[in-house]
């Protein structure tokens, strides 16, 4: 592993995104716009907007980073640049951490925009501070990035990669407790939800935006999110093969 190559990779990924203003707009503005839309959809039920909108500020970055990373990595695989990098003095960790640096910076920018919009402009409440939600959003974005890197190994085309979104994200969104509290679901679903990354991400966010004192549980949630991120990166590293058929 070489810090200079890791950093160069992070800069390279950021430069790729900089050349694509539409992706930047997608990353920064779309979540804020959707949140704004949601405020007016729930105009008659402000408590529902608080209940769903506030945690969503921390979940959007997960979804967007998952999508952007899986496609960026898939391109790296299909255009032959990954094969070239694997013939060069670059370790897999350089590549993965380079991605993590680039998308970590982007995720922070995204979290700032969505938290300012939600907790500043749209009047959502963060009893324990918007900063806590923002920090969780960045952790979730890195989780999304790690899972995106991993699933990119299972897609052949960008079209397939986009399909992973409904296949992989929607069930988690439904089961995580955001729309229906998990103890009201069929017991089997509640059991399944325990092994889904989203559930832990949502649980932390829900605690962060609810009144009352915070206990150690939110730290446990965050620790689980970080652990899943590291495990996915490790699995992702296994899918980066120097030798292929």
Partner 1 sequence: MAETPAIRVSNLRVMRGENLVLPDLSVEVASGRVTGLLGPSGCGKTTLMRSIVGVQIVAGGTVEVLGEPAGSPALRRRVGYVTQAPSVYGDLTVGENLAYFSRVVGVDSARARETAALVGLEKMEGRIVGSLSGGQRARVSLASALLNEPDLLVLDEPTVGLDPLLRADLWQTFHSLADAGASLLVSSHVMDEARECDDLLLIREGRLLRQTTPGELQVETGEQDLGRAFLQIIRDAPSQAGQGAGS
**Angle, alpha carbons 32-36-40 (nearest 5°):** 165
- Among 40, 88, 184, 186, interactor with partner 1 by CB under 8 A: 88
- Interaction residues for partner 1, span 162-201 (CB under 8 A): none
* Cβ atoms of residues 193 and 182 within 8 Å: yes
Task: Tell whether residue 3 is a contact of partner 1 (CB under 8 A).
Answer: no
Rounded to whole angstroms, how far apart are CA atoms 163 and 70? 11
CB of 85 to partner 1, least distance (A): 7
**Angle, alpha carbons 119-121-125 (nearest 5°):** 25
CB of 99 to partner 1, least distance (A): 14
CB of 191 to partner 1, least distance (A): 40
CB of 107 to partner 1, least distance (A): 20
- Among 90, 102, 130, 208, interactor with partner 1 by CB under 8 A: 90
Beta strands of 151-231 (E only): which ranges? Answer: none
* Cβ atoms of residues 234 and 209 within 8 Å: no
Nearer to partner 1, 87 or 213 (CB): 87
What's the token pair of residue 192? 């399944």
- Interaction residues for partner 1, span 19-58 (CB under 8 A): 19-20
| DSSP tag of 19 | T
What's the token pair of residue 24? 């930047």
Task: Tell whether residue 239 is a contact of partner 1 (CB under 8 A).
Answer: no
List of residues contacting partner 1 (CB under 8 A)? 4-5, 8-9, 11-12, 15-16, 19-20, 79-81, 83-90, 242-245
């Amino acid at each position: 592993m070489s810090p200079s190559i890791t950093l160069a990779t992070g800069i390279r990924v950021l430069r790729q995104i900089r050349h694509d203003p539409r992706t930047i707009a997608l990353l920064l503005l779309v979540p804020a716009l959707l949140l704004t839309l949601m405020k007016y959809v729930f105009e008659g039920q402000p408590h529902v907007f608080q209940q769903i909108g506030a945690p969503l500020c921390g979940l959007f970055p997960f979804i967007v980073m998952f999508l952007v990373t899986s496609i960026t990595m898939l391109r790296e695989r299909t255009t032959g640049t990954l094969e070239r990098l694997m013939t060069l003095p670059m370790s897999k960790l350089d590549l993965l951490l380079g991605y993590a640096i680039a998308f970590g910076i982007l995720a922070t920018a995204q979290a700032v925009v969505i938290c300012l919009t939600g907790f500043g402009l749209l009047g959502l409440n963060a009893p324990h501070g918007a900063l806590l939600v923002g920090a969780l959003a960045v952790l979730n974005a890195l989780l999304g990035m790690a899972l995106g890197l991993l699933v990119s190994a299972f897609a052949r085309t960008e079209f397939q990669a986009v399909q992973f979104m409904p296949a992989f994200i929607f069930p988690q969104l439904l089961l995580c407790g955001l729309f229906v509290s998990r103890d009201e679901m069929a017991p089997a679903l509640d059991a399944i939800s325990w092994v889904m990354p989203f559930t832990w991400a949502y649980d932390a966010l829900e605690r962060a935006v609810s009144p009352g004192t915070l206990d150690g549980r939110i730290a446990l949630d965050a620790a689980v999110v970080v652990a899943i991120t590291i495990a996915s990166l490790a699995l992702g590293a296994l899918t980066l093969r120097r030798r292929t058929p």
